[in-house]
Structure 1
Amino acid sequence: MPPPGVCLNIMEARQKQKGYGSFANPDKFLNQDYQELKQYCVLRGVRYIDDMFPPDCISIGEGILSTSDLARVEWLRPMKIAPHPNFILDGISRFDFGQGILGDCWFLASIGALTFKQKILEKVVPIDQSFDEKYCGLFHFRFWRFGKWVDVVIDDKLPTINGRLIFVYSKDENEFWPALLEKAYAKVCGSYTDMISGTPAEAMMDFTGGVHMCIQLSDPPSNLWELMCRAGQSLSLMGCGTPQGETSANNILANGLVQGHAYSVTGVKQTMSQGKQLNLVRLWNPWGKGEWTGDWSDRSSLWQTMNANDRDMCLSVADDGEFWMTLEDFCKFYTDLDICSLSPDFLDGNSCHWNTTMYDGRWVAGTTAGGCMNNRDSYWTNPQYRVKISGEYSGNVGEKNVLISLMQKPDKRNRHLVENLHIGISVFEHKAQKGKFPASFFSQKPAAQTKTYMNAREVMEYFSLKPGEYLIVPSTFKANETASFMLTIITKAETHSYENSGDQKDEPVKTLKKTPNALEDKSKITFFRQNSDKYEEVDAEQLQMLLNEKILKGDLKSGGFSIDACRSMVALMDTSISGKLNGEEFIRLWKKVATYKDIFFLTDVSRTGTLSLNELRNAFQASGMRIKDDMLSLMALRYGASSGHLTLESFISLILRLDCMYKIFKQLSDGKDMNLQESEWMYISMYT
């Protein structure tokens, strides 16, 4: 059984600090180690079969094939498909393959762009793989997934019908890198079915792990051509798409373009025609055939108006899916252009140093999922990130210098089960202010924001921000929607940034304080002696009765404390490890319960008898505890009901445990770190 998610999160954060998840040291996808598996297979002379993505109908998924065709599928290794199988034949090219029956043109278009950039290609496709004497049916590929590189292992059994590949196929039957790469990505997505429908940006980001910019071609920037030229000359991939027709079908228009289809941008060329400057864009259809028939298509007479050298360099008359068109026609017939690059250098023609900062965050319903600015009372609860842009503003007025990306992280293994929310980003300028910014701060207009909330895996915006202090707020459109995200901030100027969770130590906190009362203490002692056993102790069963039927009678609205909750309270307060509370321990617990009850009713401003998770934030503040947003969200998930509210019993159980954990850390640590032997860790965790 794997460890709980909170443990995995801590492990992942520590590993990231040590460089794990980088390209040089990628994570092992599903904990499969390529080198170990290969060594095992080679030594034993066996061929690998991947039990994490087995050669069966589950890995294909539903909806691609009919039941009868699915029954005909046979998973074959390359030597059973072709006479002389090779991983790569005569290098890698976009013309090596064509799309099969799977609707993954977005992925194949991205591969087409990838084949132009050898440095990026070798990151994704380790080219030292072959069918040589150490062949054991095992291959691996690397993808960037939501902030980290992963190494993905597969076997080479491929789905066929009548001995022919049913998904991506190679023009040369002996070449298998396209089919194996597609299989590895299908494994990452969950199944082949999970690869149906997408945008080139998704796969191109998974190939680069770098900077993504999306340009709406209906309203392109004035420097679009310069941007495309710089991207073409740098380590960048470019893809685009045509608008959807009345149906989801990929209908072929009279001009040869396919509706609702992804294409690769494979080149740009500036030349002269009839004495005028001409900007041409080259595109490629991942079908491997089917081309544009308008101006500057393969058989257009306009090629004769260009000088012979440029014509010979550009023109190739073949039905290979690749063609040229003018930049104007490109903007007219395509909806968007995605550029993904290893670095931000393509964004600006000037040589400058870029700074990149990434944050992993989470919106949790009721605590940190405040929704958009229409939700005036809750917007401030969204995660907040401070950024200070330093130095002189050397750019021209309006020149863009900050790119912010917000990417949703899936909580489901299968891609088709992931439901993207409508997300957006707002940036606010502020003067020096401490703590989390309250609701009143957001009455001002943002200094910058995404144009709209988009239902997409990622939204990004390129801003112009002068030196100063800013607050970045990523949010969903609707409030109370739970999801994880990754925020990336890329700036030209020197910056300092941090998550603004409101836990700064210099922030004043209003607390509820009670004055000692000797008469009250004496009354509690008398009560304890009357209700304890002959040894003047109470166990969990007695504590349950006293809390539910006497001490908190009338205040508990949902059945009272469970026996497990009372056992936990005894363990937290039990200094003698007897499983019982003596008089001193019982009265100390009683005082805490009374204080927390007062805080509960003080902060239950809605008078529902429960705390909403926003009220919980105030309750922590009243108790004198500063809680970071991620911890608050964690507690909400652990102690809150499905409605997102906490009863008095849940609140008392939560805050008692939190107070105890603070004390344990303070006693056993140096204030920063804590080291425990295995027996010590088990001793504390299993009793408290």
Structure 2
Amino acid sequence: MSGIAASLQRLWDHRQGVGTNSQAMKYLNQDYEVLRQRCFQTGQLFQDEYFPAQTSSLGFNELGKDSYKVRGVSWKRPRELVSEPKFIVSGANRTDICQGALGDCWLLAAIASLTLNEEVLARVVPRDQSFMDGEYVGIFHFQFWQFGEWVDVVIDDRLPVRGEELLFVHSAEGREFWSALLEKAYAKLNGCYEALSGGSTTEGFEDFTGGIAEAHELSRPHPHLFHIIQKALDRGSLMGCSIDLSGQRNLHLDRNFFLRHASAARSETFISLREVCSRFCLPPGEYLIVPSTYEPNKNGDFCVRVFSEKQADFQELEDPVESRVEKIQISEDDVDDRFRGLFGQLAGQDCEISAFELQKILNKVVTKRSDIQTDGFSIATCRNMINLLDKDGSGKLGLVEFKVLWTKIENYLNIYRSKDVDKTGTMSSVEMRTAVQEADTFNALDRDGSGTVELNMMEWLNVSML
């Protein structure tokens, strides 16, 4: 169907009420009643071809096919897990929602709030669904609001499990499966389960109601906040709350951080021992534990164990490595006559430099330098440089593009020489950290896990260019 015809059809459907809650759009053109009757006629349980019981439905990265997190995961129907599964037991409530191995607590909070409003719950979770004989054929459906219209999402009841336990959302009751099936339908609507990892509760509120979400920060409360909350409750609005636990986790722990923040406690001894143990009594708060080597500027691996009398949460803090490089802006007018003449000699008749020509030029230059020990630039490195700077897609570098490349190489060479403090021709991780703050990219090349990255000049330039 052409774009115009599709638009006209959609406009006609809207005028007929399609897309409203009473007449939801059939997601992926799957008609729940038609599919259900077909299963009764064939005597087979429904299998959803659009959201199959495969790894592709789990995720694409951390839950992708090659991830260790999906090892041992299989798909089972509720009747394979318990003897008498139920869709809803004694009404839906907040205890029906327990988080699994997915970071979708935002969605769970929205579902929990949904259970407090039976009218809205019935709109999202149709009640005409059951595991009873004569009614069950392995197919369920749920309704969500998406981009201005309600859609009816059909799923089968094959759920991801590890062993005999549901992998994701599950009910504390054990025999109840409406929340797990709702999560699966929402995952199908968003492409996969992993797509639900990370989000905002207000997103769930909007998709469950079609309403407009409003957020209030208690640190800067609205003068009539209590009245607003009362009014929202009277109108049956869904509400939730959250607290900010981020604290100071994104701090860059450079020298200035430790100069400005005094230590709350420290170990009694600072000697060269395999293990140091200390006992502290600290007021409630957020603390940063910093292990260190006995000698400065050394790399080390640490096993930090903390035993606390009260419940405490822990999170490993990765110190971000940031780059703040000014973009090189060069126009043809900025190229001086000397460089222009040199380029003409090097580029030849086509006035462009290929990867092979670039390799020849760079290797000729570096072999004349006594302070650089290198085997030269590889053709792969030269191709990478050209691909990153080739704006017109010719596969070669023109005058301005070559000038930008030459300027970058000179800058990176200066950085490499200045940060190679011990003048060994290689860079430790400490030297690398200071170097990448001036270069434009970072690539961890600690191949053997030794804590030291060894780069010759050509490897450094290749990393910088990439």
> Could you tell me the TM-score, scaled by structure 2's length?
0.52
- Structure with larger RCO (C-alpha < 8 A, sep 6+): 2
Q: Is the 8 A contact 2:75 2:158 kept in 1?
A: yes
Give the Å deviation of 1:134: 2.1
User: Is 2:177 the partner of 1:179?
Assistant: no
Q: Is the 8 A contact 2:61 2:67 kept in 1?
A: no
Amino acid at match of 1:240: C
Give the structure 2 partner of residue 238 of structure 1: 239
User: Is 2:218 the partner of 1:193?
Assistant: no
Give the structure 1 partner of residue 445 of structure 2: none
Distance in 1, matches of 2:89 and 2:233, equals: 26
* Partner SS, residue 137 of structure 2: coil
Give the structure 2 partner of residue 97 of structure 1: 97
Amino acid at match of 1:229: Q
Distance in 2, matches of 1:192 and 1:75, equals: 13
Give the Å deviation of 1:226: 1.1
* Cα distance change of structure 1 residues 256 and 160 upon mapping to structure 2, 3 Å threshold: farther
* Cα distance change of structure 1 residues 39 and 199 upon mapping to structure 2, 3 Å threshold: same
Give the Å deviation of 1:231: 1.5
Q: Is the 8 A contact 2:205 2:211 kept in 1?
A: no
Deviation sequence 1:29-88 (CA, Å, 0-9, x none): 011000000000011110000001111000001334473442311100001111211101
Distance in 2, matches of 1:200 and 1:9, equals: 32
Give the structure 1 partner of residue 109 of structure 2: 109
Give the structure 2 partner of residue 164 of structure 1: 165
Give the structure 2 partner of residue 125 of structure 1: 125
Aligned residue pair count: 252
Give the Å deviation of 1:239: 1.9
> Could you tell me the TM-score, scaled by structure 1's length?
0.35
Distance in 2, matches of 1:247 and 1:63, equals: 24
* Cα distance change of structure 1 residues 148 and 71 upon mapping to structure 2, 3 Å threshold: same
User: Is 2:225 the partner of 1:204?
Assistant: no
Give the structure 1 partner of residue 54 of structure 2: 56
Give the Å deviation of 1:255: 7.2
Q: Is the 8 A contact 1:104 1:196 kept in 2?
A: yes
Structure 1 segment 505-654 matched on structure 2, within 5 A: none
Give the Å deviation of 1:256: 11
* Cα distance change of structure 1 residues 47 and 227 upon mapping to structure 2, 3 Å threshold: same
Deviation sequence 1:598-625 (CA, Å, 0-9, x none): xxxxxxxxxxxxxxxxxxxxxxxxxxxx
Give the root-mean-square deviation of aligned CA atoms. 2.2
Q: Is the 8 A contact 2:62 2:69 kept in 1?
A: no
Deviation sequence 1:97-156 (CA, Å, 0-9, x none): 211110111111001110000000000000121011221100000001110000000000
Give the Å deviation of 1:177: 0.4
Deviation sequence 1:341-395 (CA, Å, 0-9, x none): xxxxxxxxxxxxxxxxxxxxxxxxxxxxxxxxxxxxxxxxxxxxxxxxxxxxxxx
Give the structure 1 partner of residue 75 of structure 2: 75
Give the structure 2 partner of residue 154 of structure 1: 155
Give the structure 2 partner of residue 35 of structure 1: 33
* Partner SS, residue 185 of structure 2: helix
* Cα distance change of structure 1 residues 77 and 123 upon mapping to structure 2, 3 Å threshold: same
Q: Is the 8 A contact 2:87 2:177 kept in 1?
A: yes
Give the structure 1 partner of residue 228 of structure 2: 227
Deviation sequence 1:519-568 (CA, Å, 0-9, x none): xxxxxxxxxxxxxxxxxxxxxxxxxxxxxxxxxxxxxxxxxxxxxxxxxx
Contiguous gaps of at least 5 residues in structure 2: 251-282, 287-310, 312-466
* Cα distance change of structure 1 residues 181 and 33 upon mapping to structure 2, 3 Å threshold: same
Structure 1 segment 425-440 matched on structure 2, within 5 A: none
* Cα distance change of structure 1 residues 12 and 246 upon mapping to structure 2, 3 Å threshold: farther
Distance in 2, matches of 1:255 and 1:86, equals: 44
Amino acid at match of 1:112: A
Name the one with the larger strand percent. Answer: 1
Amino acid at match of 1:154: I
Q: Is the 8 A contact 1:64 1:102 kept in 2?
A: no
Give the structure 1 partner of residue 135 of structure 2: 134
* Cα distance change of structure 1 residues 157 and 225 upon mapping to structure 2, 3 Å threshold: same
Give the Å deviation of 1:214: 2.4
Amino acid at match of 1:9: S
Q: Is the 8 A contact 1:38 1:136 kept in 2?
A: yes
Distance in 2, matches of 1:103 and 1:247, equals: 19
Give the structure 2 partner of residue 490 of structure 1: none
* Partner SS, residue 13 of structure 1: helix
* Partner SS, residue 12 of structure 1: helix
